[in-house]
């Protein structure tokens, strides 16, 4: 699934800034826009005046528009009652259902013939709720889910909670989205970022994005008003991947080893206690006729990336990520290391998992 941006009308950005944001994101390969039509601080007159043009440019750029929907949003739009046809005519393709919608409402809306999809609140979904939807005739293929974002500091979700909810939704075939903050222009009125995970309020945009993908989130949205060009580039680059993406600091300038580190890897199915092993690294080294000379053969801390050198005989080229401290070994070179943030991703390198180093 494509990652996404967020566009808020009548708030921080001018209309021109929002239109430029959409076009820049589209050029980066981003195909999704989240918007909310019921932010209390928004200028509702500006919102109504700009909405048509925003939706027109989104359609022109081939971007899917996902909108929060609530009674307050209906009032802003000047829509009496509730009709999916009204949203289809506006060009809003996916509705994120806020409070006020029953299971019967969801069942009826899921079976629409307008092509409109529904987004559940991923942060509050329960097994009982999902089972009732499934058993009651809901078109589950029309459902996705999106975790909340949290403007106020200290209110964001924990990593464990998001993983648990995401796994539950995946069991029902429902894809899941979540938010990370942009550090370019945090959105008003709190200006503390719009993350799903509280951890991401202080981590880099790059790490936060790769962290959510490693956790199994299918689509990551920049929550804030105006992400930088670099942040947009990362959103476009790191999409539609099942691999865990790690950004280590290299300890070597040997180009043959750097080239080997840039190859795609898969963890071995037999999980070792002390290290993460790869299925391909020895074959890569052999096929490239790499001779690994002893170098940086010191103590191996958790998060170090090592390569067995020629002293290890047929194990030459064995790449490992260290999980627990290991003593020095003259047969093992340290070739790179992971920062404390990057080490948080190691637990997602489960048996048979694809991963890649970004260097």
pLDDT of residue 100: 73
* Dihedral in degrees, nearest 10, Cα atoms 83, 87, 93, 96: -70
User: Do residue 9 and residue 83 come from a single domain?
Assistant: yes
Residue in 154, 203, 211 with CA at minimum distance from that of residue 178? 211
pLDDT of residue 177: 98
Residue 10 or residue 328, greater confidence: 328
Confidence of residue 193 (pLDDT cuts 50, 70, 90): very high
Which residue is associated with the tokens 């390198």?
Answer: 349
Name the domain boundary from 184, 211, 241: 241
User: Do residue 158 and residue 214 come from a single domain?
Assistant: yes
User: Do residue 176 and residue 286 come from a single domain?
Assistant: no
Token pair of 234, please? Answer: 């990362």
pLDDT of residue 41: 67
Give the CATH number, domain containing residue 100: 3.20.20.70
Asked if residue 22 has pLDDT above 70, the reply is yes
H-type alpha helices, the chain: 15-27, 44-60, 71-77, 84-90, 103-110, 127-135, 159-171, 205-214, 229-237, 255-261, 281-287, 340-343
User: Do residue 283 and residue 200 come from a single domain?
Assistant: no
Residue 69 CA to residue 46 CA, distance in Å, equals 18
Residue in 347, 33, 357 with CA at minimum distance from that of residue 216? 347
User: Do residue 83 and residue 185 come from a single domain?
Assistant: yes
- pLDDT, tens only, 208-224: 999 999 999 999 999 99
Domain span holding position 86: 4-241
Residue 219 CA to residue 4 CA, distance in Å, equals 7
pLDDT of residue 71: 66
Residue in 204, 200, 211 with CA at minimum distance from that of residue 157? 200
- pLDDT, tens only, 212-255: 999 999 999 999 989 999 999 999 999 888 999 999 999 999 99
Residue 185 CA to residue 192 CA, distance in Å, equals 10
User: Do residue 22 and residue 166 come from a single domain?
Assistant: yes
- pLDDT, tens only, 86-139: 888 888 999 998 777 888 989 999 999 999 999 999 999 999 999 999 999 899
Sequence-distant (≥ 6) Cβ neighbours of residue 338 within 8 angstroms = 246, 248, 249, 303, 304, 305, 321, 345, 346
pLDDT of residue 48: 77
Name the domain boundary from 224, 241, 258: 241
User: Do residue 143 and residue 166 come from a single domain?
Assistant: yes
Q: What percent of the chain is predicted at pLDDT more than 70? A: 96
Q: What is the mean pLDDT of residues 289-308?
A: 97
User: Do residue 82 and residue 191 come from a single domain?
Assistant: yes
Residue 31 CA to residue 27 CA, distance in Å, equals 9
User: Do residue 199 and residue 118 come from a single domain?
Assistant: yes
Give the CATH number, domain containing residue 267: 2.40.100.10
- Is the CB of residue 256 less than 8 Å from the CB of residue 290? yes
Token pair of 342, please? Answer: 């990057």
pLDDT of residue 165: 98
CA angle 87, 212, 168 (to 5 degrees): 70
CA angle 316, 322, 208 (to 5 degrees): 120
Q: How many domains does the chain contain in total?
A: 2
Residue 176 CA to residue 301 CA, distance in Å, equals 35
Q: What is the pTM for the complete model shown? A: 0.95
User: Do residue 268 and residue 211 come from a single domain?
Assistant: no
pLDDT of residue 80: 67
**Cis geometry, peptide bond prior to residue 189 (ω within 30 degrees of 0):** yes
User: Do residue 33 and residue 158 come from a single domain?
Assistant: yes
Q: What is the mean pLDDT of residues 67-89?
A: 76
User: Do residue 270 and residue 202 come from a single domain?
Assistant: no
Residue 79 or residue 137, greater confidence: 137
pLDDT of residue 42: 67
Name the domain boundary from 206, 241, 276: 241
Q: 21-35, 44-58, 102-116, 313-327: which has the minimum mean pLDDT? A: 44-58
pLDDT of residue 237: 95
């Amino acid at each position: 699934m494509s990652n996404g941006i967020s566009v808020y009308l009548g708030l921080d950005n001018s209309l021109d800034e929002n239109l430029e944001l959409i076009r820049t994101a589209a050029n980066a390969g981003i195909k999704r826009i989240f918007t909310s039509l019921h932010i209390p601080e928004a200028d509702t007159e500006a919102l109504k005046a700009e909405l048509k043009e925003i939706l027109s440019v989104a359609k022109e750029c081939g971007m899917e528009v996902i909108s929060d929907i609530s009674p307050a949003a209906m009032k802003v739009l000047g829509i009496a009652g509730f009709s999916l046809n009204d949203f289809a005519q506006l060009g809003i393709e996916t509705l994120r259902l806020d409070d006020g919608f029953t299971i019967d409402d969801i069942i009826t809306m899921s079976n629409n013939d307008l092509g409109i999809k529904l987004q559940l609140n991923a942060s509050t979904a329960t097994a009982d709720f999902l089972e009732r939807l499934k058993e009651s005739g809901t078109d589950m293929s029309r459902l996705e889910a999106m975790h909340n974002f949290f403007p106020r500091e200290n209110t964001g979700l924990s990593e464990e909670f998001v993983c648990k909810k995401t796994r539950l939704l995946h069991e029902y075939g429902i894809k899941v989205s979540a938010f990370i903050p942009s550090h370019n222009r945090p959105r008003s009125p709190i200006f503390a970022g719009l993350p799903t995970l509280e951890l991401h309020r202080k981590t880099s945009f790059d790490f936060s994005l790769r962290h959510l993908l490693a956790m199994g989130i299918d689509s990551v949205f920049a929550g804030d008003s105006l992400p930088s060009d670099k942040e947009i580039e990362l959103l476009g680059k790191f999409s539609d991947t099942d691999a865990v993406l790690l950004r280590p600091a290299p300890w070597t300038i040997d180009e043959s080893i750097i080239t080997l580190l840039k190859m795609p890897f898969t963890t071995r199915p037999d999980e070792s206690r002390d290290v993460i092993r790869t299925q391909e690294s020895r074959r890569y080294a052999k096929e490239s006729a790499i001779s690994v000379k002893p170098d940086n053969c010191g103590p191996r801390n958790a998060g170090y990336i090592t390569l067995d050198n020629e002293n290890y005989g047929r194990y030459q080229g064995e790449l490992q990520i260290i999980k627990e401290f290991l003593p020095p070994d003259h047969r093992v070179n340290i070739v790179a290391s992971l920062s404390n943030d990057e080490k948080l991703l190691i637990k997602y390198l489960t048996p048979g998992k694809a991963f890649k180093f970004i260097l």
